Chains A and B, each alone.
Chain A
Amino acid sequence: MANKDKITRSIGTIRKTHPIVRIVGKAIIYIVLTFGALVSLFPFFWMVSQSLMTLGETLQIRWLPAFPQWQNYAEAWSRARFGEYFLNSTWVTIGTIIGVLVTSILAAYAFARIEFPGRNIIFTIFLATMMVPESVTLIPNLFLIRGQIIPWGNWNDTFWVLTIPFIANAFSIFLLKQFFQQVPNELWDAARIDGAGHMRFLTQIVLPISTAPIVTVILFTFTGAWNAFSWPLIVTGRKWRTMMVGLYNFVSEAGTETQLLMAGAVISLIPIIILYIFTQKQFTQGIATTGLKG
């Protein structure tokens, strides 16, 4: 006890920084952090500000619109067809999420909880596909969906071409497998004694306790599908153009109407921002634990 007192006293004596030094230090920390946050935020501020300006105002030196032009959004939604693109992206995102959940929950369960021949090999092959750059797969996949390799018709510019190739991925399987492995064996033994098969065990015991990793998978799939660009760019035409492709095309099609472009940009961000605000803890945790670069 006496020893501990001594240590605490010595901390008190040695680590006595002058209060002014401490306050200045803190102030510097806040200034640096605030500056960084402003840099992070500025482009978003600029986007919103420009989206509410008149065309004339976007060409002047001014930070804010004189009167917010809310009708820019209506115009972007209908005339610039961003509404249509927005709905396309929404359907594609929902479809992809459902597909990913079904395939990856099943596969992850098998990898995590059932012994079967070839388990490790198949899993390693799955993981290996994560390394392959899109540049490699893009061209063969284009031929594939046009029905030039397997004669299943041309899927170009359909809902399926934007969803099917993405309804399974190694990352989601990996993430869920890690979690499913931690489910205690005793639960499985008990379920099995009660006569439950794998399917019942999965749906009634494993899934209800796996909301955290499932939410993470949904988050990653959501952002992946919503933000997708190069694949939708080459496989969509008029009908299934997604939000991102629409935005990119608007740049070249109507390069001067900055206010509409920025209104479109705001519209394209809304789902992601909402998702992020409500789940930001899960988001950052998911990234910190997996170390995945999206």
Chain B
Amino acid sequence: MEVPKSEELSEGIEESEQSVMIQPEPIVDKPKRGLGFQKTIDYITAYSFVTPAFIIIFLFGLFPIGYAFYMSLINWNVRKGKFIGFRNYLEIFGSWENLYWVLGGIALLFIGFLVQDKLSKSNHKIAKFSWLVFLVILVVAGVLFTTGWGAMMDTGDKAFLQSLVNTLYYALGTVPTQIIIGILIAFLLYQDIKFKEGFRLLYFLPYITPAVTTSVIFRIIFNREAYSIANRVINLFGLDPLKWRFESKPIMQLLGFNIEGFWAGPSLALIVIMIFGVWTFVGYNVVIFLSGLGNIPKEVYEAAEIDGATKWQLFRHITIPYLSPITFYLTLISLIGTFKAFNHIYVLKLPSAGDSVVTASVYIFERFYKFSQFGRATAMSMVLFLIILGLTFIQNKIMAERVFYG
């Protein structure tokens, strides 16, 4: 609560504090007109303070979303064409039915998780079979999704859909890896060791340095020549030189398996990009995990140590459960990050690796930057935006509903 001000009052205080103590009446009586006036001044001040930021954020952050949506409804290649409604979207998905199948699969999966969660918590007889229910839902959801997705790949924009698959590969390859390495290093750094600060400084270096610069270095390390660093390293293990960034073949085929489609896995070129991703973001995960470790009450460890727990048991049964909210947060924020990732992928990719290294954001960029397909590119960017919104929604939903102490 602030004391309403009037001229006499402030003067009175400057002269002597006592007068206020003895005669509090003016504070109560005077303020009504002053308060209204002060409010107006406050409003004007506030709006003029917020306006510069508002103009910039509105113009370059908010307005573009609406305008991108508007562009996505127009047949806009180099020059602006006709209004075509949702045709740009339709051409991405092939047909609306395909989209319904895919979305139905995802929705069912989400419902499955909720049902499983509810059932496993209840004491009802069925609870024992909750995993069975979940399994059935999972299978049905999987069938729905793959049916829709297959049809989409056949009739829709195959290259864009493939870029989403590549993004998924990239996410699956990097997110769990960097989290596991991150939590391990953070745990080791948290022990009673020397040079703690020094280690942290070094681990954090890749994250803080510009992605373009470090990608340029990785370009050279993962060259296809026999003298490149990557080839020298595998040579130590007696392996033949690989083409690395230039290799568009899926990893499973390189390993000698005769697999096609999704399960053939990412290309070696995309795996190089994943290695870069992990190398960059481990340090970030370490820092976040370290701050989480600092919040675990010391007493918990002490109590467990008195009970004779080993270091591994401490890690497994105290550290990991206590860190699980952070792990979850990092997983989703990293997942969202993979859908936004652009700079290092764009710098590391090569034409000879073909479509295998083109993730969604890179594909969208090329559509408009190289081919000036503005309408189609904005439609794809809106799809990407909706995916990110969906992930954010799941993040908020789950974060709000349960604290992970599992």
> A residues within 8 Å of B by Cβ?
7, 10-11, 14-15, 25-26, 29-30, 32-33, 36-37, 39-41, 43-44, 46-47, 50, 59-61, 102-104, 106-107, 109-111, 114-117, 119, 122, 125-126, 129, 131-141, 143-144, 149, 164-170, 173, 185, 188-189, 192-195, 197-199, 223, 226-227, 229-230, 234, 244, 247-248, 251, 258, 261-262, 265, 268-269, 272-273, 276, 280, 283-284, 287-289, 291, 293-294
Residues on A with beta carbons closer than 8 Å to the beta carbon of B229: 46
A284-B217 in contact (CB<8A): no
B216-A247 in contact (CB<8A): yes
B308-A14 in contact (CB<8A): yes
From residue B167, how far is it (CB to closest CB) to chain A in Å?
12
Residues on B with beta carbons closer than 8 Å to the beta carbon of A110: 45-47, 49-50
From residue A199, how far is it (CB to closest CB) to chain B in Å?
7
B156 contacts partner chain A, Cβ-Cβ < 8 Å: no
Residues on A with beta carbons closer than 8 Å to the beta carbon of B193: 26, 29-30, 33
A30 to B195, CA, bound (A): 10
Residues on A with beta carbons closer than 8 Å to the beta carbon of B279: 39-40, 43
From residue B47, how far is it (CB to closest CB) to chain A in Å?
7
Q: Which of B46, B68, B219, B306 has the most CB of A within 10 A?
A: B46
B65-A25 in contact (CB<8A): no
| CB < 8 Å neighbour of B283 from A40, A104, A188, A197 | A40
Given A40-B283, A107-B52, A168-B56, A133–B339 Cβ distance below 8 Å? yes
Residues on B with beta carbons closer than 8 Å to the beta carbon of A143: 67
Given A41-B202, A110-B45, A114-B42, A137–B60 Cβ distance below 8 Å? yes
| CB < 8 Å neighbour of B53 from A30, A107, A199, A265 | A107
Q: Pick the 9 closest A-B CB pairs, nearest first.
A: A140-B64, A168-B56, A288-B291, A110-B49, A107-B53, A129-B61, A116-B46, A140-B67, A227-B210
A131-B65 in contact (CB<8A): no
B110 contacts partner chain A, Cβ-Cβ < 8 Å: no
From residue B330, how far is it (CB to closest CB) to chain A in Å?
9
Within 8 A of A (CB), among B377-406: 377-378, 380-382, 384-385, 388-389, 392
0/1 string, B356-380, CB within 8 A of A gives 1: 0000110011001100001001101
B316 contacts partner chain A, Cβ-Cβ < 8 Å: no
| CB < 8 Å neighbour of B227 from A7, A61, A265 | A61
Q: Which of A25, A194, A230 has the most CB of B within 10 A?
A: A230
0/1 string, B1-34, CB within 8 A of A gives 1: 0110100011001100000000000000000000
Binds A, one of B128-136, B260-268, B341-349: B341-349
B180 contacts partner chain A, Cβ-Cβ < 8 Å: no
0/1 string, B220-245, CB within 8 A of A gives 1: 11000001010010000000000000
Residues on A with beta carbons closer than 8 Å to the beta carbon of B60: 137, 141, 144, 164-166
Given A134-B342, A289-B291, A269–B5 Cβ distance below 8 Å? no
Interface size on B, residues (CB 8 A): 103
A197 to B44, CA, bound (A): 12
Given A41-B205, A134-B340, A251-B216, A126–B64 Cβ distance below 8 Å? no
B64-A251 in contact (CB<8A): no
B189 contacts partner chain A, Cβ-Cβ < 8 Å: yes
B361-A258 in contact (CB<8A): no
A133-B361 in contact (CB<8A): yes
Q: Which of B10, B54, B188, B216 has the most CB of A within 10 A?
A: B216
A193-B3 in contact (CB<8A): yes
Looking at chain B's contact residues, is the secondary structure mostly helix, strand, loop, or mixed? helix
Given A131-B388, A149-B67, A139–B46 Cβ distance below 8 Å? no
Kindly list 19 other residue pairs between chains A and B, CB separation below 8 angstroms, not including A29-B188, A106-B50, A230-B343: A33-B188, A46-B220, A107-B49, A114-B42, A114-B49, A133-B339, A134-B361, A136-B381, A137-B68, A139-B378, A144-B67, A164-B56, A167-B56, A170-B61, A193-B3, A194-B10, A248-B347, A268-B213, A272-B210
Of all chain A residues, which has the CB nearest B52?
A: A103
What are 10 of the A-B contact pairs (CB < 8 Å)? A37-B202, A44-B205, A46-B221, A116-B42, A116-B46, A141-B64, A168-B53, A269-B209, A283-B208, A288-B287
B381-A226 in contact (CB<8A): no
Residues on B with beta carbons closer than 8 Å to the beta carbon of A268: 210, 212-213
A272 to B385, CA, bound (A): 31
Of all chain A residues, which has the CB nearest B189?
A: A33
B290 contacts partner chain A, Cβ-Cβ < 8 Å: yes
B259 contacts partner chain A, Cβ-Cβ < 8 Å: no
B59 contacts partner chain A, Cβ-Cβ < 8 Å: yes
A159 to B318, CA, bound (A): 53
Given A33-B188, A134-B342, A192-B5, A265–B217 Cβ distance below 8 Å? yes
From residue A289, how far is it (CB to closest CB) to chain B in Å?
7
Residues on B with beta carbons closer than 8 Å to the beta carbon of A248: 212, 216, 347
